[in-house]
Amino acid sequence: MTASETHPESEEQALVDGAGLIDGRNRGSVLVSGPDASSFLHSLLSQDVAGLSPGDGAHALLLQPQGKLDCDLRLLVVGPEEIRLDCEAGRGEPLAASLRRFKLRVKAEVEDTSGSWGSLLLRGRRAPAVVQEAAGVAPPTAAHQHVPWPDGGEVRIVRADWPGGWAGIDVVGPVEALTGIWDALVEAGATPAGAGAFEAARVAAGVPRQGVDTDERTIPQEAFLERDAVSFTKGCFLGQELVCRIDTRGHVNRFLRGFVMVPGEGDDTTPPPGAGIVVGDKEVGTLTTVARSAGGIRALGYLRREVEVPVDVLVRWEGGEATARADALPDR
């Protein structure tokens, strides 16, 4: 149940035009259950959880009281009193701890299920068709909606498209159930892909990763997370004041952008994460993710808001520099 990464070009191509398959069994996972599960999460998260029914899901944020990021997550309503949250690897335990801090006189239990609940991620134009072939049911078409995998117990098929029209399906469920499903997906035409190919695809799609492109200092609007992870009509939620004030009459000082390195000659011109971004003679930003792909070197990073894109920039680090083209992220 692994990808060899001996054919990175074919893996990258599968993640675009085929059905690239990524092992996400190590993703963070939290189960919130009980009669107050929905109302409890609705009061804290940035999304309208109360408006969701079993089979629905959403991209949501848990913010700090000051409005900066605590956890970037996806929630799936799997039953009237059961909601599954998943997030980046290593974030499940901190997410559960953050939620428990606000659990006062609430009939809901919060359990870190990381390690026992995971995901298989498929990306590429053929991902929905491959899942349908393997499961025998059509995947949902609306973002974050999910249906059971037939005879798969708790396993769910989740619509997980990326920005820019990038098709995606996630299969989530108990880790022990995912091994057989991995084999079924490969038999149906999925191509196992490794971390390098996945990072190149993620960067091309402009999807930020918590702990790499975002952290506890990130304001949602800096990484455009508010586009699909924040409801501005639901009423109060944790950290709402800053996010809504920026939306109505403020601004942030930087934005996450995509970068394509211009091929150079001679020595390797691959910048490291943390490399500075220069326009004119002034440093105006920093790279966060750098990914090699068959098509060249792509990156994500932050630029000062006054720098209009698209724009040519100079990326500079100790011992090297390279030119790059900065552009806006694909629309969500």
The CATH number of residue 185's host domain is 3.30.1360.120
Does residue 244 lie in a domain region?
no
Residue 264 pLDDT = 65
Number of domains within the chain:
2
Strands 117-123 and 57-63, how do they pair?
unpaired
Does residue 2 lie in a domain region?
no
Cα–Cα distances in Å, from 168 out to 125, 140, 188, 201, 282? Answer: 8, 11, 16, 12, 39
Residue 137, sorted as left (phi over 0), alpha (psi -120 to 50) or beta, turns out to be beta
Same domain, 164 and 311: no
CA distance 275 to 254: 16
Residue 5 pLDDT = 47
Does residue 40 lie in a domain region?
yes
pLDDT digits (tens, 9 = 90+) for 191-203: 999 999 999 999 9
- Count of C-beta atoms within a 10 Å radius of residue 167: 19
Same domain, 268 and 184: no
Q: Of 204, 222, 243, which one is at a domain's C-terminal end?
A: 204
Rounded to 10 degrees, the C-alpha dihedral 92/97/98/99 comes to 90
β partners of residue 286: 276, 302
Q: Which domain holds residue 304?
A: 253-332
Longest CA pairwise span in the chain (Å): 65
CA distance 267 to 295: 18
Same domain, 26 and 171: yes
Q: Of 204, 230, 263, which one is at a domain's C-terminal end?
A: 204
Same domain, 283 and 197: no
The set of residues, in sequence order, having a beta carbon less than 8 Å from that of 295 and lying 6+ positions away, is 12
Q: Kindly give the confidence (pLDDT) of every residue in the chain, 332 residues in length, as a single tens digit, with 9 standing for 90 and above.
A: 555 445 678 999 999 999 999 999 999 999 999 999 999 999 999 999 999 999 999 999 999 999 999 999 999 999 999 999 999 999 999 999 999 999 999 999 999 999 999 999 999 999 999 999 999 999 999 999 999 999 989 999 999 999 989 999 999 999 999 999 999 999 999 999 999 999 999 999 999 999 999 999 999 999 999 999 999 999 899 999 999 999 888 899 999 999 999 876 555 678 999 999 999 989 999 999 999 988 889 999 999 999 999 999 999 999 889 999 999 999 87
Does residue 19 lie in a domain region?
yes
Take residue 117 and report the two structure tokens written for it.
């609940």
